[in-house]
Amino acid sequence: MDRAIWVTWYDLPVVGRDHYLAWLHDLHIPRMLRKPGFLWAAHYVSTNNFVRNPRLIYSTDSTIPAGNEYILIFGAQDAHVLANPVPSKLCASISEDDREMLSRRSGERTQVFTEVARVDGPQVGSRENERVLSPCIQIGCYNATTSEGEEGILDWYANCRFPAIKTLPGSVGARRYVSVLGWGKHCVLYEFVSLEMRNEYYHSHVNSNAQMKDWGQRMLSKLIHLPKTPNVACRIWPAISR
């Protein structure tokens, strides 16, 4: 199983973007996938529909890199695969030309997560194969402010949010993670068959359930999110099958 993921959020300048993307998709990702224990990869571009949610509390720590235009995700057998070597040492070991390509990223933030739980949605049968994330994802990272909040996160996802995913139209599934590297202890990743289906049903599905809506609103006051999160993003590699 793919019990761990390595996620990198970053921005790119417009100049040289196509050259970078060709290198990443045609050379860098395939090389990474030849490493033992690496199982899959997916590259996403964030949608431009982020609106700061007035109900969320955002981190004000200016030292946290704020890139979020692109999201690169590698899936691995477990977190120790991603520590052999750790990301910083792995990136330092590649060729000078490849390091120059990576240096084009700005606001780069990286995290390694290990999986807590996952659930299938009603569209799980649409998955292209078991080692590819869906065409559209929503991914958020946050910390709890209290021990009560930590317990609330466990309760919320196990007994409210994940059971609801089983009936969320357009949902392929969801996965919950905790961090072993990087800011934000908690991470949740939702998969959708398309951006259109996510936008049409995600919020209305929550709002149609009074208990779930009330529970979720109470949880928000106990969490601190990264700025400009959660990210809603569409896959650009591998190409989406039609």
- Angle between helix 210-220 and 147-156 (nearest 10): 150
Residue 125: predicted pLDDT: 95
- Is the pLDDT confidence value at 213 over 80? no
| pLDDT average, residue stretch 86-96 | 94
Q: Which two tokens stand for residue 218?
A: 């109470």
Domains of the chain in sequence order? 4-237 (3.30.70.100)
Residue range 188-210, pLDDT digits in tens: 999 999 999 999 999 888 777 77
Contacts (Cβ under 8 Å, ≥6 apart) of 195: 47, 135, 136, 232, 234
Residue range 159-181, pLDDT digits in tens: 989 999 999 999 999 999 999 99
Amino acid symbol at 37: G
Distance CA 2, CA 74 (A): 10
Give me the residue label for tokens 């996403």.
Answer: 44
Residue 51: band (very low, low, confident or very high) from pLDDT cuts 50, 70, 90: low
Residue range 99-130, pLDDT digits in tens: 999 999 999 999 999 999 999 999 999 998 88
Label residues 158-195 b or e (16+ Cβ within 10 Å = b). Answer: eebbbebbeebbbbbbbbbbebebbbbbbbbbbbbbbb
